[in-house]
Chain A
Amino acid sequence: MIVGERKPIREILELLGDNTTVLVVGCGSCVTVCLSGGEREARELASILRIRGQSAREVTVERQCEKEFLLPLEKEIEPVQAVVSLACGIGVQAMSEMFSSHRVFPGLNTTFMGMPVEQGLWEEYCSGCGECVVHKYGGVCPVTRCAKSLFNGPCGGSQAGLCEVKPDRDCAWQLIYDRLKSQNRVEELLQVQPPKDWSFSRSGGHRKMSREDMLL
């Protein structure tokens, strides 16, 4: 899922500036699950704006990143001066594209692709590198979960299984080593992995995917 974090309310207020009639748009998918931009959060933000004397309404769509779900919003959006989207950056852009005469402000900072690891805690798991290799690493992504994206083993600073860069996080290479050891596959790590082809990643420029068989 995509994980995002609500911007500080003060920042949202600054973004809104003089616009007093506001529509807050939540998204019913990822950001609902990570408790940052769903129906509940949209209602809370709109409520706060109203308490502050602004004229705010809220609405939540199933998925802000698909235009079909946005069509019914047209009537709601027309009268307002500004829109705050509580979706990920994709939702904000979809809204901006759909309702291009309106200002759409991001209410969230989209942070990463990850998963909930315990109640109230989410962690990044994938950076969308375009060529997945996790099977070589016991199912632990070195691109994302190692702070230095190392492919051939841990750096010199891993201690007590924790990352030297962020000591409240596991060292990805400890996890990789432990997983492969439990599978009796440690020797596989002896293979020198050649440099990664980053052209499939964001480094190769903006990416598109097309499926000939699905095109109309």
Chain B
Amino acid sequence: MSWLKDVLESGAFAVTGEVGPPKSPNIQPVLKKVNQVCRHVDAVNFTDNQTAIVRMSSLAGCLLAKEAGADPVMQMVCRDRNRIALQSDLLGACALGVENVLCLSGDHQSMGNHPQSKNVFDVDSIQLLEIFKNMRDRSAFQNGEEIKSPVKVFLGAGESPYADPVAFRAMRLAKKVAAGAQFIQTQAIFDIERFEQWMFEVRGLGLHKKVFILGGVIPVKSARALRYMQEEVPGLVIPENLIHRLEKADDAKAEGVNICVETIERLKEIEGVAGVHIMAIAWESIIPEIVERAGLFPRPAKGAEHNHEDPKRT
């Protein structure tokens, strides 16, 4: 069963973290990162060749995490696989007990380390959600053929409250929910006011009652890193004053953690925000401190009641 789903349904403010699999078949970095974070998060995301750079597959990372006792979230992008491969991998994930899946469009390959490759984009992330929902709820493949045994999956999607056209953003979330999204992990939040505005629109559409929204945060180590994100990472809005704060700080790393913790404190107050997703890129070791300082530790304990297998629950 999806532990993440249980936590969210219990009403607790959920915490998820993110692990980027290594650019090698070495399992040690995966296990190390999982061990660093697993007592402090309810689930761990494994990215799918993020920024279009070849890495260990998300499914392999998920399996390693699961064996190490964590609840993994498998990210799946539409860039590299057509509907045949995507459905096949969902069956595979399901067979191996990986039940949280986050459906994304994916970064374009021209941004990564194999810009000469051909992309797929057979379906988009919303179509992927719908395909997976039907595989679960109607036991049917995309072509309508029957799937002989039940597919269990807890479906997530990304959302970027800051990208343009801004007026379409809440509507796009509505589409994702209609297509099957049960939880949302947002793009990193630095401009909390604009996030609040977006949540206001989301509540206006009643979406916060239909989907669990986890606000994304990124702890940053320096003003330079933040400036880089402001200039280079699409879909992010980073207020100048945060960059100034880091510039002025004696210990920029500590200030970066402060900003992250403050953001989480604000998120906890926003109606309709069900949790936080911490993307500590190449800095997974900081996650425990952030979670503790944000007053989110200890995490709910996996009790015996969650071990039973009830097919109706997913």
Contacts and interface: CB of A to CB of B under 8 A. Distances in A.
The answer to whether A and B touch in the complex, with CB atoms under 8 Å apart, is: yes
B130 A153 contact: no
A28 interface: no
Interface string B163-200: 11101100110110011000000010000000000000
Contacts of A154: 163-165, 168, 172
Nearest to A203: B122
Contacts of B108: 147-148, 164-165
Contact of A198 (B110, B122, B130, B158): B122
B168 A189 contact: yes
B239 interface: no
B304 to A, nearest CB: 39
Interface residues of A, number: 33
Nearest to A193: B127
B42 interface: no
Contacts, number: 107
B234 A192 contact: no
B160 A195 contact: no
B235 A156 contact: yes
Contacts of B160: 155-157
Contact of A164 (B124, B127, B235): B235
A158 B178 contact: no
A15 interface: no
Interface stretch (A30-38, A130-138, A172-180): A172-180
Contact of A159 (B131, B164, B171): B164
Nearest to A151: B124
A194 interface: yes
A153 B168 contact: yes
A199 to B, nearest CB: 11
Q: Which of B122, B174, B234 has the most CB of A within 10 A?
A: B234
B152 interface: no
A192 B178 contact: yes
A142 B83 CA distance: 19
A192 B130 contact: yes
Interface in B66-113: 78-79, 83, 105-108, 110-111
A194 B159 CA distance: 20
Given A154-B163, A156-B234, A177-B165, A148 B158 contact: no
Given A154-B163, A159-B163, A177-B165, A195 B142 contact: yes
Contacts of A194: 127, 130
Contacts of A189: 168, 171
A171 interface: yes
Contact of B111 (A151, A159, A165, A195): A165
Interface of B: 78-79, 83, 105-108, 110-111, 119, 121-127, 130-131, 142, 158-160, 163-165, 167-168, 171-172, 174-175, 178-179, 187, 234-235
Given A152-B175, A195-B83, A196-B123, 15 more contacts: A148-B121, A150-B121, A151-B124, A152-B124, A152-B179, A154-B165, A157-B107, A160-B164, A161-B165, A165-B108, A171-B164, A174-B165, A177-B167, A177-B168, A178-B165
The 5 closest A-B pairs by CB, nearest first: A157-B234, A156-B160, A164-B234, A152-B126, A165-B108
11 contacts: A148-B78, A151-B126, A151-B127, A152-B179, A157-B160, A157-B163, A164-B108, A177-B168, A190-B178, A192-B178, A192-B179
Interface of A: 147-161, 164-166, 171, 173-174, 177-178, 181, 186, 189-190, 192-196, 198
